[in-house]
Amino acid sequence: MVQIYSYEQSDDIANAVANYILDIQDHVLKTNTVFRIAVSGGSLGKVLQKGLIDNQAIRSKIAWDKWHVYFSDERLVNLNHEDSNYTLFNEMVLKPLQKFNLPLPRVVTIKEDLLDESRINDAMIASEYEHHLPSVLDLVLLGCGPDGHTCSLFPNHKLLKETSKRIATISDSPKPPSRRITFTFPVLENSSNIAFVAEGEGKAPVLRQIFGEKKTNLPCEIVNNLPTRVSWFVDNQALSGVSVSASKY
């Protein structure tokens, strides 16, 4: 089932995403001791900072110490590299949490020691990460690239057909840097909730395709067709010319 929530302003998207995360967290923590969430890179970092950190009311309601955080995809660079999705999360969420003296979540990163110029260990980095991944994630937060990619699953790439590995390596990512690891569809399929965040007019052409009548097989469209609850948080610009009915969360 796909739900679309649309807003005028970026701040409203961030607040809606934050309330959505909080509701799922609260629901999960009624029966579980931890909340297992995966985040992506790109513009999502800013949304998380705005929604979860800058908003004092939300910040104080998040059970940070019960969060287990995973990355839907990660670039194979050192953890302090500007391209690292961990670095982004660290800057946008972890460092501000420390500043507010709040407890930190458990964050599962790639094993940096295995990084190697020769790429010989890339498969080992992926399988090591897979080893730490729970069988079900409570929530996966995704971005949507202008080409319809999500995680590091790109249109027409052979990884779209991967069914045995839950974490795969990619060495030819069209979006730089080229070396990454990524969730595969089996992980997304087994997640309890998935949410996309997409903002700006640059996303409108691909959203018209994804939500259009013609089947495209774009990675984001494949996610929409999974038997998982999928939500989209978008702004009106991204939705321009897209014929779907949207509401407010």
The site for ligand 6PG (CB under 6 A) is made up of 40-44, 72-73, 85, 143-145, 150-151, 175
- Report, in Å, the least distance between residue 75 CB and ligand 6PG: 6
Q: To which residue do tokens 């319809």 refer?
A: 148
- Whichever of 69 and 144 has its CB closer to ligand 6PG, that residue is 144
- Report, in Å, the least distance between residue 61 CB and ligand 6PG: 25
Rounded distance between C-alpha atoms, residue 5 and residue 62, angstroms: 22
- Complete DSSP assignment for 15-71: HHHHHHHHHHHHHHHTT-S-EEEEE-STTHHHHHIIIIIS-HHHHHHS-GGGEEEEE
Amino acid at 14: A
Rounded distance between C-alpha atoms, residue 248 and residue 115, angstroms: 43
Rounded distance between C-alpha atoms, residue 175 and residue 233, angstroms: 23
Non-local CB neighbours of 56 within 8 Å, separated by 6+ positions: none
- Whichever of 12 and 102 has its CB closer to ligand 6PG, that residue is 12
- Whichever of 15 and 85 has its CB closer to ligand 6PG, that residue is 85
- Report, in Å, the least distance between residue 202 CB and ligand 6PG: 8
Q: Which two tokens stand for residue 198?
A: 């997409």
- Report, in Å, the least distance between residue 235 CB and ligand 6PG: 12
- Report, in Å, the least distance between residue 24 CB and ligand 6PG: 19
- Whichever of 44 and 126 has its CB closer to ligand 6PG, that residue is 44
- Whichever of 26 and 172 has its CB closer to ligand 6PG, that residue is 172
